[in-house]
Amino acid sequence: MIFSNKLKISIEEIKLISTYNTMNTAEKWHGTTIVLLRKNNETVVAGDGQVSLGNTVLKSKAKKVRKIEKRGVIAGFAGSTADALTLFERLEAKLEKHAGNLPRAAVELAKDWRSDKFLRRLEALMAVADKENSFIISGTGDVLEPEGDVIGIGSGGNYALAAGKVLIESNISAEEVAKKAIKVAADICVFTNENVKVEKI
């Protein structure tokens, strides 16, 4: 009986520790700096390649930007890579449903993200664009259309945003602006590296 009680307590303690570690791990995920900008009729999204868990770098060449060729849409994701891929698939489905209408697809995705039990648990932030529109989509149901031609999200997003706003006034191409903005962020943010991936339309 004494052994049984001890065993019961031990199992309960293990469950508590496991739950705590799961929550703690989720809070420590760091993935990404994304910059999205438009210049000279070109729209570009760029992201770094680092995925970190706490202070440990798990991957240095992750691809966090995607392009939907058929609909002329590009997207970048900050947060958990697996969650981001799930959201990208949902975005692609919404674009198909609404015949490539990005504003409508973004609003519908945000509504689902906020209300769906499964999607609500996903930890990511999206920057999406086509030739005419740029949006930030969040899990709180927000669809934001930022002012200006540059968007920055993620752990080093503010640094990339600031660099992008300065560099966009220079004579270099949109792609070069995006790459340099990520590299500036990488010099400052420990969760960002210089392995830049780019998609453009």
Residues annotated as catalytic (active site), given as ranges: 32
Amino acid in the structure at residue 115:
S
- CA dist., res. 84 & res. 191, Å (int): 17
Paired tokens of 85: 């891929």
CB 44 within 8 A of CB 196: no
Number of Cβ atoms within 10 Å of the Cβ of 131: 12
- Distance between terminal CA atoms of the chain? 70
How many angstroms separate the CA atoms of 150 and 159, rounded?
Answer: 12
- Residue recorded with tokens 């210089």: 194
DSSP H helices in 65-171: 81-97, 102-115, 157-167
Rounded to an integer, what distance in angstroms lies between the CA atom of residue 199 and that of residue 65?
A: 7
